[in-house]
């Protein structure tokens, strides 16, 4: 355990040296919050089902942070380690490659949580953000979404021969999810054709689930979304295990 914690600490320091990782996980969601919060405010509106615009949007921004770390940072880092033979070198050290892999999951989870906390603090101070749901339901939903997106990221890392391939695949997956899942703009404001496309995006179900429990709906009102996300975790984790290469 002591050895593993040292690996986590080293990976944490390396992660914090990457400006783009920190910007999109910690700063960009706050910029989105400030932009749309200033434009639309947080007064309850009929369009938002009687909730404020910020209150209804923050759950999507949190899912956006999960997507950044899970679909961009995680697979690109692991692909870079494989391309530079870092994973292979670990095989002749006391540190096992699996420890490096798990440490990446831990570091990206911590980054995601920190990004969420910063977003919530800014939302509360600037826009009087409200949480209407059950904290336990929100925590469970958060980790279901996180594991489902991270499992996709692991598969991307497993299938990619190098960083260029990983970057291309990550961009193709990430940006449609960012703009078409409801994470940045509510699906209620989008045409039906876009809504239909969003049904093919895993993050859409995460946004539905997290937004629902955030606004006070019962966790089990979203059994469809929950089963889809759990199915993604199982299927993509198995595929990632099958195709992941250490060198």
88-141 confidence digits (pLDDT tens) = 776 666 667 678 788 999 999 999 999 999 999 999 999 999 999 999 999 999
Query: What is the distance between the alpha carbons of residues 241 and 114, in angstroms, rounded to a whole number?
Result: 28
Burial class of residue 213, CB neighbours in 10 A (0-12, 13-18, 19+): buried
Checking if the pLDDT of 34 tops 90, the result is yes
CB-based contact 97:246 (threshold 8 Å): yes
- H helices of 128-222, in order, are 135-159, 163-180, 192-198, 202-214
Checking if the pLDDT of 162 tops 90, the result is no
Checking if the pLDDT of 81 tops 90, the result is no
The confidence score (pLDDT) of residue 92 equals 65
pTM above the 0.85 mark? yes
For residue 34 the two structure tokens come to 């400030």
Over range 225-238, report the average pLDDT.
96
| String of DSSP letters for 87-132 | HHHHTTSSS-HHHHHHHHHHHHHHHHHHHHHHHHHHHHHHH-----
Mean pLDDT of all residues belonging to the chain = 91
Quick one: which of 28, 37, 231 has its CA closest to 144?
231
Domain range list for the chain = 2-243
6-15, 81-90, 225-234: least confidently modelled range: 81-90
């Amino acid at each position: 355990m002591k050895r593993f914690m040292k690996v986590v600490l080293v990976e944490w320091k390396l992660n914090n040296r990457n400006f783009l990782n920190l910007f999109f996980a910690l700063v960009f969601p706050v910029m989105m919050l400030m932009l749309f919060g200033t434009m639309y405010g947080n007064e309850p509106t009929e369009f938002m089902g009687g909730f404020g615009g910020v209150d209804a949007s923050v759950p999507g921004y949190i899912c956006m942070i999960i997507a950044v770390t899970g679909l961009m940072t995680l697979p690109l880092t692991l692909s870079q380690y494989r391309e530079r033979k870092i994973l292979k070198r670990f095989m002749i050290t006391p540190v096992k490659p699996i420890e490096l892999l798990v440490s990446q999951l831990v570091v990206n989870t911590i980054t995601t949580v920190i990004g969420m906390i910063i977003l919530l603090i800014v939302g509360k101070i600037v826009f009087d953000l409200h949480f209407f749901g059950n904290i336990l339901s929100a925590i469970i939903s958060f980790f279901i979404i996180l594991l489902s997106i991270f499992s996709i990221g692991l598969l991307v890392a497993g299938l990619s021969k190098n960083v260029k391939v990983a970057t291309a695949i990550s961009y193709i997956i990430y940006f449609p999810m960012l703009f078409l899942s409801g994470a940045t703009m509510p699906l209620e404001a989008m045409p039906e054709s876009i809504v239909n496309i969003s049904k093919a995006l895993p993050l859409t179900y995460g946004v539905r689930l997290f937004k629902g429990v955030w606004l006070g709906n019962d966790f089990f009102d979203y059994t469809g979304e929950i089963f889809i996300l759990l199915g993604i975790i199982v299927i993509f984790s198995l595929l990632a295990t099958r195709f992941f290469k250490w060198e």
